[in-house]
Structure 1
Amino acid sequence: MRENNTNQPREEITLKSLREHSGLTQRQVAERLGLSLGAIQKWEQNGGYPSLENAARLAKVLGVSLDTLAIAFRLTGNGRETT
């Protein structure tokens, strides 16, 4: 199954792949969100999750749905990580 025109199988969707697909650097994403570069790096390295507000803003910057972003963070509908 493909998600949001990324041309990637669901299991290969990561925050990094979504960011790269959008043509943005980590620094550009951080600047557009008004966050530190470290925050973006942490999320990409699975070191944490954005707040719901930041997730909504991140999805908009990347041009994806919140559902796709949840896939990238390996979250299920109940907020738990998938394997």
Structure 2
Amino acid sequence: MSTLKDVTLWDRVSWKAVKEAKGLTYRQISEELGLYIGSVEKWFSGEKSPALIHQVALARVLGIPLSEALDNINDPDIRALLSITL
């Protein structure tokens, strides 16, 4: 059975394109999120993935509607879990 731990909204390639299109720097994003710049750099380089709580906050900073990010989740178990949770 899937759990919220299995949920990811993160799409590094698309979200990086949004970041670049908006002209946001890693520093600006890290300051907005209250995190170290190194963490944000690792997300966008593919070295690490952000935790779900940071994915939601990052979507807000990048102006990505949460409903759009949720559309990327195809697993029916996860979608059912999200419909209960959200």
- TM-score, normalised with respect to structure 1: 0.61
Greater share of helix: 2
Could you tell me which residue of structure 2 aligns to residue 50 of structure 1? 50
Structure 1: runs of 5+ lacking an equivalent: 1-12
TM-score by length of 2: 0.59
| Greater length-normalized contact order (CA 8 Å, ≥ 6 residues apart) | 2
Aligned mates of 2:65, 2:74 — CA distance in 1? 14
Q: Percent identity?
A: 35
CA offset at residue 31 of structure 1? 0.3
Q: 2:15 maps to which residue?
A: 15
When structure 1 is superposed on structure 2, of 61-70 and 29-38 the one drifting more is 61-70
Task: Return the match for 1:77 from 74, 78, 83.
Answer: 74
Give ranges in structure 2 of 5+ residues lacking alignment.
1-12, 79-86
- Flag the structure with larger Rg: 2
Partner of 1:26: 26
